[in-house]
Amino acid sequence: MINSITKLFKQLLDGNDLGKQPTTDPNLAIACLLSEVAGADYQVDEAETKAKFSLLGKLLGLDEAAAQGLLNRAQVARSNSASLYEFTSQLRELSQETRFALIQAMWEVANADGKIDPLEDAVIRKTAELLYVDHSEFIRAKLSVTNPSS
């Protein structure tokens, strides 16, 4: 919170246009969202970290080294961000199918440790809303991860 306020004041002093969003590539935005859900409960365990790597490879076709580099950049971007909007605003142009796959991947990261924390649920819910993913698709993605036999 203090970082966000400090960033705002720096922008005002530097004369930057606050209406302009910083440009980030979509792959970085996806990595940031996966990292955001993993860290939502303030506990990132090994299973969540492995899930992030695996899902970046699956979603973006990255090898392990590229995924590691992207996740390192995502950690920095995430710590400097004020909200999820900074990431989701770049992903709205993706197809509905791709946005669904991202929400599903976020559920996989959240469920990697065997439990979905309410804070993780809230991050995924907010992301789905910002990406204009229908609530029924949000639920379908969750159920596909938590009840895979259904």
Taking the C-alpha atoms of residue 9 and residue 131, their distance in angstroms, rounded to an integer, is: 28
- Residue 20 is predicted with a pLDDT of 46
Amino acid at 68: Q
Q: Are 41 and 120 in contact, with CB atoms under 8 Å apart?
A: yes
Alpha-carbon torsion angle 119, 125, 131, 134, nearest 10: 170
Count Cβ atoms within 10 A of the Cβ of residue 89 and give its class: 0-12 exposed, 13-18 middle, 19 or more buried: middle
If one counts every other C-beta atom within 10 angstroms of the C-beta of residue 14, the result is 7
Structure tokens at 9: 């004041």
* pTM given for the model: 0.81
Based on DSSP, count helices (H) and strands (E) in the chain, helices before strands: 8, 0
- Residue 21 is predicted with a pLDDT of 47
SS3 assignment, position 115: coil
Print pLDDT tens along the chain (150 aa): 555 555 555 554 554 444 444 556 899 999 999 999 999 989 888 999 999 999 999 999 998 899 999 999 999 999 888 889 989 998 989 999 999 999 999 999 999 999 999 999 999 999 999 999 999 999 999 999 998 765
Angle, in degrees to the nearest 10, between helices 26-39 and 46-60 = 160
Q: Are 26 and 101 in contact, with CB atoms under 8 Å apart?
A: no
Going along the chain from its start, the domains and CATH numbers come out as 2-12+22-146 (1.10.3680.10)
If one counts every other C-beta atom within 10 angstroms of the C-beta of residue 74, the result is 25
